[in-house]
Amino acid sequence: MLDDFLIRAALAGLGVAVAAAPLGCFVVWRRMAYFGDATAHAAILGVALALGFSMSVFTGALVVALAMALTVSALSGRGYAMDTLLGVMAHSALAFGLVAVSFLQGVRIDLMAYLFGDILAVDKTDLMVIWGGAMLVLALLVWRWQALLTATLGSDLAYASGVDPKREQLVLTLALALVVAVAIKVVGVLLIAAMLIIPAAAARPLSSTPERMAAIAVLIGMVSALGGLKLSFMLDTPTGPTIVCVAAIIFSATSTIGLINRNAA
């Protein structure tokens, strides 16, 4: 069964959707879109370090993405606006990563695959990493769901409820780094933020509770992955970007539905 590359690609896309969509809800609720983008951009530096030191790409991307997320969290509120800090660090990390890749001697690397993904090249080991990471992200979110929701509503409410918002921010940071590490092979560092944000944003007009939004976001992410894979095979287009295009079309449709419902109310 897993000898069919299309089946492996479909399973990889589903794994990324399962990991990214519920986490993306918190990214949308907390307005952390640029934070996710910065973490994803840093992953290319992790790829370069992993190849340079003969480590797995997953390990390198995870370590650097986590370091970036923790650094941004630590520096926020210390004299720089958050969007400025994220812009500087995101583009700097991406630039340093691209420069570091150019210094690798004797290592053949398809840079486009890491920038935009290469889901059709996923092998059985990649599938194990993707689904292992997805299950770990889901376990983190289920374990801390109520505390994360409380911290998202506000720091004062969190403290009053006995929840440490900084701890919950650390949980989100760890989950975000994991998603970046597992998604880099599927959609690439430049499109990871899209898979975090678009399914969650598309689910918002159809949702009445946080749990419903997370569930619908997962469904939209899965449909986007499978639909994008099929369309890219039929139209001979890049698979990662096509997956994001399908998600964007679904977002447009649900946004229109939400607008119609608000006008009718």
d(CA 20, CA 15): 9
pLDDT: which is higher, 133 or 57: 133
pLDDT tens, residue by residue, 62-117: 888 888 877 777 776 565 666 677 778 778 888 888 888 777 776 666 677 777 88
94 touches 44 (CB < 8 A) = yes
CA quadruple 33, 38, 41, 44: dihedral sign: negative
The confidence score (pLDDT) of residue 36 equals 76
Would you say domain 5-191 falls under CATH 1.10.3470.10? Answer: yes
To the nearest 10°, the Cα dihedral for 58, 64, 68, 69? 30
Sequence-distant (≥ 6) Cβ neighbours of residue 140 within 8 angstroms: 171, 174, 175, 178
Across the chain, mean pLDDT equals 85
pLDDT tens string 178-213: 888 888 878 888 788 889 999 999 999 998 899 999
Domain segments of the chain as ranges: 5-191
